[in-house]
Amino acid sequence: MAEERTTYSLVVEMENARSIDWAEVGVGLKALAREIAVVSSNGLARPKVVIAHGGRDTDANALLDDITAQAPQLEQVADLIFAACPGGRYYDLKNNGVLRTDGDVVVFTDSDTVPEQGWLSALLGPFEDPEIICVNGYTYLLYDDFFSRTFALIWFFPMARGDRRFASKRALNANNIAFRRLWITNNPFPKHNGFKVSCTLLMRKLQREGHEIRNVNARVYHYAPRGWKFFYWRALVTGRDADRKFVELGSPSRMQRVAKSFSRWFTMSWRTTRRIVGHARETGMPLWQIPFSLVVGQVFYGLAFWGQFSFATGIVRDEIELVPDYVGHS
């Protein structure tokens, strides 16, 4: 009897496609089609690709036209399914998309990430071990100018190269990860008011249940954030999310939350200095720009401190975090 091969489906979250141009989305979709073709040539079955979006069912034809215009190869290697979740936020789209999958494994990626060669094979390979529940890929920020280099240095993603220590501790990447379908269907990303809190809560659930999160070198790059308005908003929401995570995983005590905001400010300020000084040359940043990068990094985490402190003290109320219309790359 022939050995039964693991089947898989992919969920591509399209919320971020609102804030980048379709030419950039097309780069990622073409790379996705290339990766699917490679694993198909190695004997894996043709997968479903679920396009999870926040519009209506009637938007499917327009989305299909855009995808076909940018990456006609995708329809040649996969069956496209459109999963509408009107008004859905980032994790809502992912959870809704999972319901339309049928493979043994579900792979998550985003509209603003671009896989490197070998990405899909690396992500699927560990599932040959039936004990593996979750395989976490390697996401890094693309950079091409001063501000994108600075973001790459201070962001929560590891650097593309030369960042093994930080990369070994990387958190769960909701934009580059795969799960056993049975597990993720029964344990969806938790609903939460925070912007990027649900993936942390899901990671802790995996750890509490004793499941290994297998980190692999399945690499994708994420388009860099752009613009001062995004910089300001993302810093504040980073702080608010830090307080939310502390409440969920640490303590709801207001005094402890305030104390945590100060200790995290110190920790992130030191980490930012260390990473910029230690890795700036790897990004191609000229020596004269490093002091300015340090200033930008300290401002970012100073704003993050204010976001966390004002949230912990009750100055700012806990409301659902929505991506503002003015945000560029998110």
Dump pLDDT digits (tens) for 313-323.
999 999 999 88
Strands 113-115 and 213-222, bridge-based pairing: antiparallel
- What number of CA atoms fall less than 13 Å from residue 208's CA on the CB side? 8
Q: Which domain holds residue 61?
A: 8-222
**Same-domain status, 175 and 53:** yes
Rounded CA gap, 20 and 1, in Å? 48
Q: Over 80: is that where the pLDDT of 308 sits?
A: yes
With CA atoms as reference, report the closest residue to 109 among 179, 198, 37, 11: 11
**Same-domain status, 286 and 264:** yes
Whether residue 300 lies inside any domain: the answer is yes
Q: Considering 181, 196, 222, which residue would you say is the last residue of a domain?
A: 222
- Name residue 250's amino acid: G
**Same-domain status, 61 and 189:** yes
**Same-domain status, 203 and 181:** yes
Q: Over 50: is that where the pLDDT of 329 sits?
A: no
**Same-domain status, 100 and 134:** yes
**Same-domain status, 140 and 274:** no
**Same-domain status, 281 and 169:** no
**Same-domain status, 182 and 292:** no
Model confidence at 20, pLDDT cuts 50, 70, 90, reads low
What pLDDT score does 327 carry? 67
**Same-domain status, 179 and 250:** no
Q: Considering 195, 222, 249, which residue would you say is the last residue of a domain?
A: 222
Residue 130 Cα to chain centre, angstroms: 25
Annotate 23-85 with DSSP letters as a single string. Answer: HHHHHHHHHHHHHHHHHHHTTPPPPEEEEEESS-GGGHHHHHHHHHHH-THHHHHSEEEEEE-
Strands 134-141 and 213-222, bridge-based pairing: parallel
The whole-number average pLDDT for the span 201-217 is 96
Rounded CA gap, 1 and 130, in Å? 19
The whole-number average pLDDT for the span 288-298 is 97
- Name residue 215's amino acid: N
**Same-domain status, 178 and 115:** yes
Strands 176-180 and 105-110, bridge-based pairing: antiparallel
The whole-number average pLDDT for the span 17-21 is 63
What pLDDT score does 16 carry? 61
Q: Considering 194, 222, 250, which residue would you say is the last residue of a domain?
A: 222
User: What CATH number is associated with residue 113?
Assistant: 3.90.550.10
Whether residue 329 lies inside any domain: the answer is no
Whether residue 326 lies inside any domain: the answer is no
Whether residue 328 lies inside any domain: the answer is no
Tens digits of residue pLDDT in 162-191: 777 777 777 899 999 999 999 999 999 999
Domains in the chain: how many in total? Answer: 2
**Same-domain status, 68 and 153:** yes
**Same-domain status, 291 and 180:** no
Annotate 1-21 with DSSP letters as a single string. Answer: -PPPPPPEEEEEE-GGGGSS-
Tens digits of residue pLDDT in 211-259: 999 999 999 999 887 788 889 999 999 999 999 999 999 999 999 999 9
Whether residue 3 lies inside any domain: the answer is no
Tens digits of residue pLDDT in 130-140: 999 999 999 99
Whether residue 39 lies inside any domain: the answer is yes
